[in-house]
């Protein structure tokens, strides 16, 4: 597994990098695994591949705040991201790890590794619901995946210094909620980890132990996907 620490200028470009890494791994004809770490430079909203935007996003509030709304290719509900939120992305080989073709095992594999590594610096981290990381009953990480023929993309958020008031300002209550949420609003459900960015980055690296050298990345494919898909309103507002 290679390490890629890369943040591009725009939300669309950053979403495109994840998709490009997955597609490039598929095209390689051999296992190609990457851990990418990045942190947004501006606030934005990302909805899941099958999300209905009007059901999950306060569009007028986002518009008035200048917060862009985009759609990703993985599942799950809408998120708000920005500075104070470390983003991680994993491209994992299904040939090298065939057990991860079972979605529940993919969630367990990634989240248990993160929980163990982050729990070494912040006690009490646990996997909750289908794809959350939490301390007791407060969530600090939401995650989603996309499965292809020979690789999968698993990515998520790790909140450590994010203005939590932006979540209810931008997002409605999600249509699907884990039982441990118990119907609580965003402000009573989500928390920041009490760590700094560097400590969290080091924990993510410890969890997966990638090769300590910055990997190359598919620049042309990233630019193409950013222009044709992730910055395209027809893609974002298709549901």
Q: How far apart are CA 26 and CA 79, in angstroms?
A: 27
Please give the DSSP secondary-structure letter assigned to residue 171: B
Do 44 and 70 meet the contact criterion of CB atoms below 8 Å apart? yes
What does the alpha-carbon distance between residue 81 and residue 190 come to, in Å, rounded to a whole number?
A: 13
**Cα–Cα distance measured from residue 125 to residue 116, given in angstroms and rounded to the nearest whole number:** 8
- What CATH number corresponds to the domain at position 121? 3.30.930.10
pLDDT in tens, the chain (239 residues): 999 999 999 999 999 999 999 999 999 989 999 999 999 999 999 999 988 999 999 999 999 999 999 999 998 889 999 999 999 999 999 999 999 999 999 999 999 999 999 999 999 999 999 999 999 999 999 999 999 999 999 999 999 999 999 999 999 988 889 999 999 999 999 999 999 999 999 999 999 999 876 668 999 999 999 999 999 988 888 87
The total number of structural domains in the chain stands at 1
List Cβ neighbours of 64 (8 Å cut-off, separation of 6 or more): none
Q: What is the pTM of this model?
A: 0.94
Strand 44-47 with 68-71, pairing: parallel
Domain, as residue range, for 11: 2-236
């Amino acid at each position: 597994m290679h390490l890629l620490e890369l943040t591009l200028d725009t939300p669309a470009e950053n979403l495109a990098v994840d998709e490009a890494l997955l597609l490039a791994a598929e095209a390689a004809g051999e296992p190609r695994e990457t851990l990418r770490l990045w942190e947004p430079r501006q606030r934005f909203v990302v909805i899941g591949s099958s999300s209905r935007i009007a059901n999950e996003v306060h569009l007028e509030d986002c518009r008035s705040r200048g917060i862009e709304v985009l759609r990703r290719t993985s599942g799950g509900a809408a998120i708000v991201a920005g500075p104070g939120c470390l983003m991680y992305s994993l491209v994992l080989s299904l040939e090298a790890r065939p057990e991860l073709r079972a979605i529940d095992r993919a969630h367990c594999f990634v989240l248990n590794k993160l929980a163990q590594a982050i729990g070494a610096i912040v006690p009490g981290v646990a996997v909750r619901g289908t794809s959350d990381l939490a301390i007791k009953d407060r969530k600090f990480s939401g995650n989603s995946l996309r499965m292809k023929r020979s690789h999968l993309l698993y990515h998520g958020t790790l909140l450590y210094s994010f203005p939590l008031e932006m979540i209810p300002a931008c997002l409605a209550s999600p249509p699907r909620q884990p039982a441990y949420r118990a119907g609580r609003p965003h402000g009573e459900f989500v928390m920041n980890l009490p760590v700094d960015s560097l400590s969290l980055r080091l924990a993510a690296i410890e969890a997966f132990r990638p090769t300590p050298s910055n990997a190359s990345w598919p620049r042309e494919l990233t630019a193409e996907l950013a222009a044709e898909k992730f910055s395209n309103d027809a893609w974002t507002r298709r549901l």
